[in-house]
Amino acid sequence: MFGFTALGVLLAMALVLVRGLAGPTVYDRILAVNAFGTLTVLLIAVHGFLSGRPDFLDIALVYTLINFIALIAVTKFAKFAHLGGPFEQRSWSDV
Amino acid sequence: MDFPGLFNYWIVIALMMIGFYIVISQGNLVKKIFGLNIFQVSVFVFYISMGKVEGGTAPILAPGFATYTNPIPSVLILTAIVVGVATMAVGLALVVRIRDAFGSIEDDEIAKLEGDVT
Amino acid sequence: MINISLLMIMVATALGLVWLRNLLAVVMFSGIFSLTAASLWVVLGAVDVAFTEASVGAGIATVLGLASLALTRTEHEKRTRVFHLPALIVVLVTGAALIYGTLDMPGWGDPDAPIHTHVAPRYIEDSLAETGVPNIVTSVLASYRGFDTLGETTVIFTAGVGVLVLLGRGRRYPVANPRVAAGGGPGRAPAAPGSEGAAVPGDSGEMRFKAILRVGGKLLIPPILLFAFYTQAHGELGPGGGFQAGVIFASAFILYALLFGVPMARAVAPASVLRGTLALGVLIYAGVGIAGVLLGGNYLDYSVLAHDPVHGQELGIILIELGVGITVASAMMTVFFVFAGQDPQQVD
Amino acid sequence: MISVHQPILQIVLPLMAAPICVILRNAFAGWLLALLVTGGAFVASLILLVHVVNEGPVSYAIGGWPPPWGIEYRVDGLSAFVLVTVAAIGFLSMIFARRSVEAEVAADRGYLFYTMYLLCFTGLMGIPVTGDAFNLFVFLEISSLSSYVLISLGTDRRALTAAFRYLIMGTLGATFYVLGIGLLYMVTGTLNIADLAARVPEMTHIRTVQMALAFLTVGLGLKLALFPLHLWLPNAYAFAPTVVTVFLAATATKVAVYALIRIAYTMFGGPTMFAVMPIDEVLVGFGLLSMIVGALAAVWQTNVKRLLAFSSISQIGYMVLGLGLADVTGLAGAVVHIFNHAMIKAILFMAVGCIIFRIGSADLRDIRGFAKPMPITAACVVVGGLSLVGAPLTLGFITKWLLLQGALDRNWWWVAVVIVAASLLALVYVWRLIAAAYLHPPSERVAAVREAPAPMLLALVALTVATVVIAIDGSLIGDFAVVTAKQLLGSGE
Amino acid sequence: MVAVLLDGLSWLCLVAGVLAALIGGIGLLRLPDVFSRMHAAGLIDTLAAGLIIVGLVLQSPSWTVAVKLILIIVFILFTSPTATHALARAALHGRVLPWLGDRSSPSEGAPSSKA
């Protein structure tokens, strides 16, 4: 049962990857990456049950968070072409 | 029903060679850095796949499990991943500085610009 | 069967990378590659490594890649050389040598390969008795091969300081080498950091873009930080530990910086504090080793830290994981703030 | 009388000094800390060398776990010898460093420079003493990462591209090294060098072991700039800040040569492996190519630093040649040249540093006639140049003598001919340097110049005197190298 | 009896979830432009993820696992719509016009608008 689900999710991942590679506009690619991330989370959760060690779901949780943060960064880059702003008039020194 | 024999290693070697090819052939500096990342991640996949034991579960002791996959490749790769990210961070910082100094991040353009200022 | 298909997806992604001209796509697909590699490692049983690779490879590497693309203002590679003969020859020769090398290798996953019979069994059997930590990877990482991890923490410390040296915004006093201290990173047309007049394009679009996200962010950041502390403490029992916790802790601040801007994030985590914690983590780790020496054991020998050796090992492992977490978190934050904090308007 | 913990504290103290230097956030304090730490490390390494020569190899189990399970520090004759070289050059560069860094690195990055220097010093000190193959990779990476950043601090914008190319080739080399260690780990199951030395020699027929040696050699070949893989070195040494060039030119490649010796002879058992897989002929071939190509390229250089950088490639060819000869005298030549070349290159680059500090340019035409206003520096250049060529009564001669003997023992007379030819080529480019110093009248800018500031000159003169003193009684180093070579070839212990 | 019911129900959820994922994947491939593809991507994020995780919750051996699963689905349901919203605004800002279809002749395969 879990095996079937895992294979199904893998097939969906392949489909999403094709859209990612082919995607004409950058927004298609961002969509593909978002869907790919969610499907990976599902794959890890299903595999946890498949291998009989369901207590590894922290990894799936981390994937969700990282997927969200990477997505916000990509979208912000697609829209504003920089990640730092908004820059109020405040200067600082790093060194 | 894992495919026995060395077929898995050959795919991993193919991955390594794709990464290695990207590093050598591509002219864009950012693409070189990410090609290097691909090459390193494939070497790590090679390490972890040699630690896998048939039917062994993750190396965290739990009741009811006897065989465990080998923990040592995981330890080595934890170190190597951090080294990879550290190199990537310094590499990307250098790319930004090169862009400021030379105005381009293409290998051939920079080589031309480098030549004239002797 | 799953790992074969995951490997196939990875090969497809890697081949895609060779053809993609759009650098943003290259960065995103490198993120997908790391994510698939991490899930492959979960399938192969290396959970800690999957944890780290996902948070570092898919998270930090993608964000750093984007920040560097923003700073170099390049979207597309000039022309992609798909076919490059000399490189192809070198790659084929190396690949052939590797495949020739695999001919005598033990098969995939057979239990009596040398690496499972020579050194590994002692770790699996005795690590619980000797270090009291069920997660064998954490016990080997922190105690048996603890010096490797000290070296590794030093490497991430080097990267943090290295990025500071390369791109850090300079201080505001006259210096011998004007090029470097010009502010906004050396070699840049000087928007003098001291002057308040640095015109800043905070157009209204940016505010509206953030309205929904800011509310979402405010709700999301506390759970992420809580999850980071859970990962730090949970390192002994399940997958987790210093690196993973440090990266998740830093990603919470990176999310804050993405939504509220680097100046706000800098107010929360100023450069001086980050430099201090960057150094503090390494000193904690090395200091635990020195404490071991002072108490009569060898360097990094935790069994002398407490009355009972096993308690000592647990105490030692928790302390150095803390040191690692602090250094990794501050290194990742420093790197992102320095990358994203560059002045957006650079005169070419 | 050394304390049991000396091998480990020697590495950990510089490692802890780096974060302290970040907290100090002051360039002078950073320099002072670096000076004290490198000085302490130098004295400690001397004591360790004496102890190891008298009482034999020292072994230290880190974390209290016995060797194959925990990481072990194993210091034998060769390790202590390389350790002393690195510590000596590190200490003297720090005496030299202060004024030179102030002139070339921005003031607000001064303390970060010393942090990076301490990390590079830690990495290079950690490699010779470690007894664990993967730990060697970690310290190799610490030293490489910090040297990329140090090189990029050069004032010329081409330092950035040089640092980037060095990063790409260095990381490829390190990844090849990890791949080689992975192949080796797969068939032996252990990472400890002593344990590998016991298990690998009887496995030489396994193809995985042969490929492991190939990948390790290529990986380290990239690190020590062997002929086809040397493209990153000239620009890296030419455009880096002077102190960085002095320290890296004298130590980084030498430590990589040490690692190659340790792998080829201790881990793979030297001749037993060469019988199955002719790596030694390959190394001899590339060594000779390095010698000739390096020297030829050096002759046409106008920038003094690039001239010396190409001469470094040629001298590394000598070491790899000695390593490939695989007999006692040849290997002894390689071992002794690690120290000799470190001292000679440190002298020459320090002298060039003094010239650049005063005259401001590294171009042979601009610095013509610097002997008149800077006699001491010019004298040191002469001593360094003669040792580079291998004239009698100099350090270089000891190496050349041992290498020639090694080549003739294997009755490869043509190798001996190439060694002499390379030395003659070296004479050509050294002569260009000395001629520029003495035979040309100084331009007015050069004439108006004074000697370099006291500390820079002190470091230079100390090195030169040390070179001359050691060279006069050549047997001190020569016999030590022969004993070490016998150990490496004999039981590989 | 309860076990059989639970197994049957979770098996049903899992199959439905996989179908939803496949439909989402195919939708992502065949739909003509970015905004319509967002529906397909949304389908994967919400329906497929929800069904599969509900299927897993029914099978989970202990409470901690169930709580973790619920936490995961809450996070997914919380972050995906926000991210897709941000993406839609970015696409509009990037002047990507939704494909309105050619009312006059139902021509197949209308050109998808390029950024």
Concatenating the DSSP letter of every residue in C286-348 gives HHHHHHHHHTTS-TT-GGGTSSSHHHHHHHHHHHHHHHHHHHHHHHHHHHHHHHHTS-S----
Q: B: neighbours with 3+ CB pairs under 8 Å?
A: A, C, D
Please tell me whether the peptide bond between A86 and the residue prior to it is cis, using omega within 30 degrees of 0.
Answer: yes
Query: C79: how many CB neighbours lie within 10 A of its CB?
Result: 11
Mark yes or no for CB contact C216/E79 under 8 Å. Answer: yes
At how many degrees (to 10) do helices A26-50 and A57-80 cross? 180
The answer to whether residues C167 and C311 belong to one domain is yes
- Residue (of D374, A4, B70) closest to C117 by Cα position: B70
Give the CA angle between residues B7, B13, B16 to the nearest 5°.
Answer: 150
Q: Which residue of B has its CA nearest to C104?
A: B6
Q: Which of B62, B72, B88 has the CB atom closest to C120's CB atom?
A: B72
**C-alpha radius of gyration, chain B, whole number:** 20
Q: In the structure encoding, which two tokens stand for residue A57, read together?
A: 């779901």
Query: Residue C111 falls within a domain, yes or no?
Result: no
The upper half-sphere exposure of residue D13, i.e. CA atoms within 13 Å in the direction of its Cβ, equals 19
In angstroms, the separation between the Cα of residue B114 and the nearest Cα of chain C is 16
Q: E: neighbours with 3+ CB pairs under 8 Å?
A: A, C
Query: Residue E100 falls within a domain, yes or no?
Result: no
Mark yes or no for CB contact C65/B92 under 8 Å. Answer: yes
Structural domain boundaries in chain B: 7-116
Mark yes or no for CB contact C33/B18 under 8 Å. Answer: no
Residue-level pLDDT at B113: 82
Residue-level pLDDT at C27: 92
Q: Is B97 on the interface with C (CB under 8 A)?
A: yes
The amino acid occupying position B86 is A
The upper half-sphere exposure of residue D485, i.e. CA atoms within 13 Å in the direction of its Cβ, equals 25
Chains E and B touch (3+ CB pairs under 8 A): no
Element (H, E) at D244: helix D242-261
Q: Is A89 on the interface with C (CB under 8 A)?
A: yes
- C-alpha D14/C-alpha C133 separation (Å) is 31
Residue of C155, C173, C320 for testing the chain D interface, max D β-carbons within 10 Å: C155
- C-alpha D392/C-alpha D407 separation (Å) is 19
Mark yes or no for CB contact E86/C219 under 8 Å. Answer: no
**C-alpha radius of gyration, chain E, whole number:** 18
Strands (E), D9-80: 58-61, 72-75
| Tens digits of pLDDT across chain C (348 residues) | 788 889 999 999 999 888 888 888 899 999 999 999 999 999 888 889 999 998 888 889 999 999 998 888 777 777 767 788 888 999 999 999 998 888 888 777 777 888 888 888 888 888 888 888 888 899 999 988 999 999 999 999 999 999 999 988 776 543 333 333 334 333 333 333 333 333 334 444 555 556 788 888 888 899 999 999 999 988 888 888 889 999 999 999 999 998 888 888 888 888 889 999 999 999 999 999 999 999 888 888 888 888 888 899 999 999 999 999 999 999 999 999 999 887 654 433
Share of chain E above pLDDT 70, in %: 88
Q: Is E75 on the interface with A (CB under 8 A)?
A: yes
For residues A16 and A37, the answer to whether their CB atoms sit within 8 Å is no
Give the CA angle between residues E109, E113, E115 to the nearest 5°.
Answer: 150
How big, in percent rounded to 5, are the helix, strand and coil portions of chain D? 80, 5, 20
Query: D455: how many CB neighbours lie within 10 A of its CB?
Result: 16
Strand partners, B68: B57
Mark yes or no for CB contact E82/C212 under 8 Å. Answer: yes
The total domain count for chain E is 1
Fold exhibited by the domain B7-116: Helix Hairpins (1.10.287)
Which of chain B's residues have a Cβ under 8 Å away from the Cβ of D239?
A: none
The domain in which residue E35 lies consists of 2-93
Query: Residue C117 falls within a domain, yes or no?
Result: no
In angstroms, the separation between the Cα of residue C199 and the nearest Cα of chain D is 25
Q: Which of A44, A68, A80 has the CB atom closest to C39's CB atom?
A: A44
Residues with Cβ < 8 Å from E55, sequence gap 6 or more? A5, E9, E10, E11, E12, E13, E14, E17
- C-alpha D324/C-alpha D285 separation (Å) is 9
Residue C101, classed as helix, strand or coil, is helix
Residue-by-residue DSSP string for D189-210 = ---BHHHHHHHGGGGTTSHHHH
Q: Is D163 on the interface with B (CB under 8 A)?
A: yes
Task: Sort residue D471 into left (φ over 0), alpha (ψ -120 to 50) or beta.
Answer: alpha
Q: In the structure encoding, which two tokens stand for residue D116, read together?
A: 């990076």
- C-alpha D266/C-alpha D255 separation (Å) is 15
Interface of C with B in 77-136 (CB under 8 A): 77-78, 80-81, 84, 86-88, 90-92, 94-95, 98-99, 102-103, 105, 107-111, 113, 115-116, 119-120, 123-124, 127-128, 134-136
The answer to whether residues C93 and C176 belong to one domain is no
Mark yes or no for CB contact B57/A53 under 8 Å. Answer: yes
Which of chain B's residues have a Cβ under 8 Å away from the Cβ of D182?
A: 43, 46-47, 50
Mark yes or no for CB contact D164/B91 under 8 Å. Answer: yes
D108, burial (CB in 10 Å: exposed 0-12, middle 13-18, buried 19+): buried
Residue-level pLDDT at B117: 52
Residue of A17, A21, A30 for testing the chain E interface, max E β-carbons within 10 Å: A30
- C-alpha C96/C-alpha C18 separation (Å) is 20
Q: Is C213 on the interface with E (CB under 8 A)?
A: yes
Q: The tokens 């990390």 sit on which residue?
A: D119
For chain D, list residues with pLDDT below 50.
Answer: 492-493
Q: How far is CA D360 from the centre of its chain?
A: 26
DSSP state of B106: B
Q: Which of C18, C156, C348 has the CB atom closest to B22's CB atom?
A: C18
- C-alpha D262/C-alpha D183 separation (Å) is 17
Mark yes or no for CB contact B62/A53 under 8 Å. Answer: yes
Residue-by-residue DSSP string for B33-57 = HHHHHHHHHHHHHHHHHHH--TT-B
The total domain count for chain C is 2
Query: Residue C116 falls within a domain, yes or no?
Result: no
Residues with Cβ < 8 Å from D36, sequence gap 6 or more? none
Q: Is A94 on the interface with D (CB under 8 A)?
A: no
Which of chain C's residues have a Cβ under 8 Å away from the Cβ of A30?
A: 28
- Chain A interface, Cβ < 8 Å to B: 51-53, 55-56
Q: Which of A58, A70, A91 has the CB atom closest to C31's CB atom?
A: A70
The answer to whether residues C170 and C60 belong to one domain is no
For residues D213 and D273, the answer to whether their CB atoms sit within 8 Å is yes
The answer to whether residues C40 and C81 belong to one domain is yes
Query: Residue E114 falls within a domain, yes or no?
Result: no
Query: Residue E113 falls within a domain, yes or no?
Result: no
Query: D274: how many CB neighbours lie within 10 A of its CB?
Result: 21
Q: Which residue of A has its CA nearest to E63?
A: A55
Residues with Cβ < 8 Å from E8, sequence gap 6 or more? none
For residues A54 and E65, the answer to whether their CB atoms sit within 8 Å is yes
Q: Is B58 on the interface with A (CB under 8 A)?
A: yes
Q: Taking the model in full, what pTM does it have?
A: 0.92
In angstroms, the separation between the Cα of residue C5 and the nearest Cα of chain B is 11
The answer to whether residues C150 and C85 belong to one domain is no
Q: In the structure encoding, which two tokens stand for residue D340, read together?
A: 């000799």
- Above 80 in pLDDT, residue A71? yes
How do beta strands D72-75 and D58-61 pair?
antiparallel
Q: Which residue of E has its CA nearest to A61?
A: E72
Q: Is the ipTM of this complex over 0.90?
A: yes
In angstroms, the separation between the Cα of residue C50 and the nearest Cα of chain E is 17
Q: Is A92 on the interface with D (CB under 8 A)?
A: no
The amino acid occupying position D475 is S
The domain in which residue C156 lies consists of 135-187+207-348
Q: Which residue of C has its CA nearest to B28?
A: C77
Which of chain D's residues have a Cβ under 8 Å away from the Cβ of B110?
A: 161
Q: The tokens 């404490």 sit on which residue?
A: C291
Element (H, E) at C13: helix C2-19
Mark yes or no for CB contact A42/E53 under 8 Å. Answer: yes
Residue-level pLDDT at D113: 94
- C-alpha D290/C-alpha D311 separation (Å) is 10
